[in-house]
Every structure is written in structure tokens, then in C-alpha cells.
Amino acid sequence: MAQKNISQFVPDAHQEITKLIDEIQKAVIGQTDIIKKLIISLLAGGHVLLEGVPGLGKTLMVKALAQALTGNFGRIQFTPDLMPSDVTGHTLYDMQTGQWKTRKGAVFCHLLLADEINRAPAKTQSALLEAMQEGQVTIEGQTHVLPKPFICVATQNPVEQEGTYPLPEAQLDRFLMNLFMDYPTAEEEKRLLSELIVGRVGDKLDLSKVNPVMSPERLAQLQLITAHITVDDRVVQYALDIVRKSREFSGIDMGAGVRAGMALLRAAKACALMNNRDYTVPDDVRYVAKDVLRHRISLTADFTIDGYQINQVIEQLLSAINAPRS
């Protein structure tokens, strides 16, 4: 796909992306910004860590996305007794044939929901690491390639809650974006309650209205289009300035690594495509910056004790850097 011809594919791609978002919103009330950023990560070929207190609809959102896509969907409910082989798969001896057979785990799919990933210990969490980074897993010394595209959306509850285990830093860095779901607005919550009390038995939300509108093959094509979105040198410099400034900014103990700069630009290109453009602008970088950096930097002990939130510090960081004019 030639760079100079990318503009001809953008309008159709934008239309399909909009349709995908509309389908998800048939099941999920509100959370429009989170849905858009989930799709941005999808287009960039990145994995997502979706965080929020229980009951906000994290799992529902991913299931609605899975229903809007026609590929294979896998789900793993992480628990303290979950084993790494439950994630990747294992071999077993077939008594009838006298041969060893491989039973593949739930990770062999196009879209994987790793539900409540921080309920399982680090050893099991790390079983996803190779799959997320390499698109393959190793079972008893044998390498198995995962379907393409492969996207992992992991949900987690706040680490302050009892019975949770913080994710290893190496795995955190493999997530393109860390999205934080907040409570719905009063109007959205009223609409949600109104829908639940009309003709519903129990509190199960309805996914039947969500139609499949995109195949894995088409998603892979959109990811290729995203990869060819133009990035001006000034936008590259802006992303670089943000990352390097984070390593020396007041209140930040550990700044963003090299992968953070690449993640900023990947997400910015997807944001541009979502906005019907074949080129990035500084606002694309700023729009995704908090979600790309949130899990890649840590605050100093003093700032943490004083009650500073990571979003506040990132906002101060962005304000300290002059964005180039579009």
C-alpha cells in the first residue's frame, strides 16, 4: 500500500469505524470516549488494559465489541488458582491413538477478554506476555502461532481492592493503552436504569441488537491503512518531547521508556484515521497521551503521599510542553 495512495482508502475506513462504534453503543450506554479509545487501540494493533470499579460495564463493552466483529472470541476469567496452561494450552496423552495431542487454550482467538486479570498471581499473568508481544505461544517446547489479528483486552479492578495482584511492569508495558472507566453521568445512569426495568428479567444486558459489521480480514486491512497514516516530523518531535520530559519532570519517579514514544505515535495515527484524516496533528497525540502514559510512569513517594493523581501530573506535563501548530 503506497503512502501517496493512502488518502483514497480513508473515507471508507472512517465510515466503517463509525459503524463499528455505533454497534457497540447499542449495548453500552455512555462511555463514548472509552469506546473510541478502545477502537483506536484496535486499529493500532495494540492491547488494552481496561480499569475501573466493578459494575461499570467493562466486560459488557468488550463483549459488545466481540459481537460487532465476526472473528473468534475468547474469554478467560482470571482467578487465584488459574494456571498458565489454562491460558496458553497444554498437551495430553490420547489413550486411543497412543499419541500426545495439544489442547489449545482460550488465547487462540482474534479478540481475547482477560477478565479481572489482576485476580491471578504474576506467574499466570505472565503467560499472556509472549502472546501479546509475539503473537505466538509455546506449549511444551512447541511454538504455535495465534490467529491474526490478535488483540487482548484485559480488565482489572483497582489494586487497592482485596484479593488483587499488581501486574508485572514488563506486562504493563505491553499494553498500548490503559483506559480508566469512570461512573456514568446522571443522565446516562437514569437511561440505564430505565432500560433495565422494562421487560427485563434479572440484570443481564441485551447484546442481541449488536450486529457483526467487521471481519478480522477487514480489521487487518484497517490496521495496515493506520500504519501508513502520515506523521509529520513536528508531530514526532512533539511525542519525543513528551516522553523525554517525563523522565525529568517534578513528581515523576520513573519516566516513560522508549516504547512509550512509539505507542504515542501508533495511537495518534489511529486517532487521525478515526477523524477521517490521512495525516496526524498534535491534538491526536494529546488526545491519547494520558491513556498511553498512565501505566508507563510512576509518581514519587512525596507526590503519592500528598494525594496527587497520575492524571493530574500528566496534565501538568502536557501543559509544560509547547505543541507545534498544525
pLDDT-derived band at 75 (thresholds 50, 70, 90) equals very high
SS3 94: strand
- What is the average per-residue pLDDT within 95-104? 82
- Say how many residues make up the chain: 326
Question: Do the beta carbons of residue 118 and residue 78 sit within 8 Å?
Answer: yes
Cell 497521551 maps to which residue?
A: 289
Residue 4 pLDDT exceeds 60: no
- The domains of the chain, with CATH numbers, are 3-228 (3.40.50.300), 230-326 (1.10.8.80)
Gap between the Cα atoms of 181 and 187, Å rounded = 16
Gap between the Cα atoms of 113 and 153, Å rounded = 5
Hey, what amino acid is at 79?
T
User: Which is nearest to 112 in space by CA: 96, 128, 136?
Assistant: 128
Gap between the Cα atoms of 23 and 67, Å rounded = 9
- What is the average per-residue pLDDT within 219-232? 95
- What is the average per-residue pLDDT within 42-54? 92
Least confident of 128-142, 215-229, 236-250: 128-142
Distance of CA 105 to the CA centre of its chain: 21
Least confident of 131-140, 241-250, 308-317: 131-140
Q: Tens digit of pLDDT for each residue in 178-217?
A: 999 988 889 888 888 877 666 565 556 678 889 999 999 9
Residue scoring higher pLDDT (48 or 198): 48
- What is the average per-residue pLDDT within 131-153? 88
pLDDT score recorded for residue 129: 80
Structure letter (DSSP) for residue 191: H
pLDDT score recorded for residue 57: 84
